Amino acid sequence: MSPSDTEPDRPQRRALKVLLAAPRGFCAGVDRAIQIVELALAKFGAPVYVRHEIVHNRYVVESLKAKGAVFVEELDEIPDTTQPVIFSAHGVPKSVPRAAKSRNMFAIDATCPLVFKVHTEATRHFAEGRKILLIGHAGHPEVEGTTGQLPPGAVTLIESAAHAEAIAPDDVSQLAYVTQTTLSVDDTAEIVAILKRRFPNIVGPHKEDICYATTNRQAAVKAIAGKVDLTIVVGAPNSSNSLRLVEVAERSGCPKAILIQRAAEIPWDLLDSAGAVGVTAGASAPETLVDEVLDALAQRFEITVEQVTTANERIAFNVPRELREPAEA
């Protein structure tokens, strides 16, 4: 009798095609911010204090906590210390470094250089006498950081096309717009078109403010959305760019898109009749979480994975000088 005659029949796993969007996951600004915390811990030891989540990802934050990072929402939660105090990648209002200086804190700014570019643009427009319209989402730390570069009332937030149609500035001859870096490319283009139609003299950025990583990740999702039954976006619920990927997938022809933080959150019932699934990750989600999702899919299905690449990213940002210099003996 052969072994196969005695073994129980194993249920055959159903085939599932997985289209893996590329680019996905970490962008250069996120990678730099995480490096800053890790280098500060290596050079100065624990604790290293971080104002706000360094990037919007719970897995990343918990990993850094385990290494000795202490996360706070405001500087007044930090005791008097000579240890580094790091500002998150999203940028901070000018009042924050000013408060740190008043307490003689050793502050290190991990603001993404592309967010800093928006700060510089807004400051320049204000210095040239313009009223600034900021396209973005209320309450997002990046919006708070950009607004906080200037005096109260200097910036007006535009959150939607309807808002852009309704706004009535006092002086339409002196207007400029800047944008949050993690918005929907299509939504932002619609809002900008409205502003330009209503205010032909409005001044915009020399180069679009939406960052390359946001643009590239949305383009990659558009490339797979019409070919899959479900798109899984790995990211955090407070991550703007991750939420936009869900919206972009559904608008681009995918019947259903979901946001999950970890593989344990996969709603398996949504895959009951799926023949193809798309997988991507927001700019603050590490690749290890994508691997975790692929492993979970492989345990239930006979998967074939095809990577769909729409751009190749080679951008990297330098860390601050104080972390590149060797520690004093």
Domain CATH for 94: 3.40.50.11270
User: 224 and 183 share a domain?
Assistant: no
Catalytic residues: 142
| pLDDT at site 14 | 93
Pick from 91, 113, 135: which residue ends a domain?
113
- Contact between 110 and 54 under an 8 Å Cβ cutoff? The reply is yes
Number of helices followed by number of strands (H, E) in the chain: 12, 12
| pLDDT at site 324 | 83
What's the CATH code of the domain at 298?
3.40.1010.20
User: 225 and 295 share a domain?
Assistant: yes
Pick from 198, 228, 249: which residue ends a domain?
198
Task: Mark the ranges of the chain whose per-residue pLDDT is less than 70.
Answer: 1-11, 325-329
Of residues 138, 107, 112, 126, the one with CA closest to residue 27: 112
User: 125 and 184 share a domain?
Assistant: yes
| pLDDT at site 8 | 47
User: 105 and 124 share a domain?
Assistant: no
Rounded CA separation 101/329 (Å): 26
User: 193 and 256 share a domain?
Assistant: no
Question: 249: helix, coil or strand?
Answer: helix
Pick from 113, 132, 159: which residue ends a domain?
113
| pLDDT at site 12 | 77
275 lies in a domain? Answer: yes
Rounded CA separation 190/186 (Å): 6
For residue 113, the Cα-to-chain-centroid distance in whole angstroms is: 14
Say how many Å lie between the first and final Cα of the chain, rounded. Answer: 74
- Contact between 283 and 240 under an 8 Å Cβ cutoff? The reply is no
324 lies in a domain? Answer: no
Q: What phi and psi values does residue 33 have, to the nearest 5 degrees?
A: -65, -45
pLDDT in tens, 314-327: 999 999 998 986 65
251 lies in a domain? Answer: yes
244 lies in a domain? Answer: yes
| pLDDT at site 1 | 46
User: 109 and 144 share a domain?
Assistant: no
174 lies in a domain? Answer: yes
User: 55 and 104 share a domain?
Assistant: yes
User: 108 and 128 share a domain?
Assistant: no
Which residue range(s) make up the domain with 93? 29-113
User: 229 and 305 share a domain?
Assistant: yes
- CA geometry: angle 25, 30, 36, nearest 5 deg: 140
316 lies in a domain? Answer: no
| pLDDT at site 97 | 97
For residue 54, the Cα-to-chain-centroid distance in whole angstroms is: 11
259 lies in a domain? Answer: yes
329 lies in a domain? Answer: no
| pLDDT at site 327 | 53
User: 104 and 146 share a domain?
Assistant: no
Domain count, the chain: 3
For residue 11, what is the DSSP state? P
Strands 175-179 and 131-135: parallel
User: 302 and 222 share a domain?
Assistant: yes
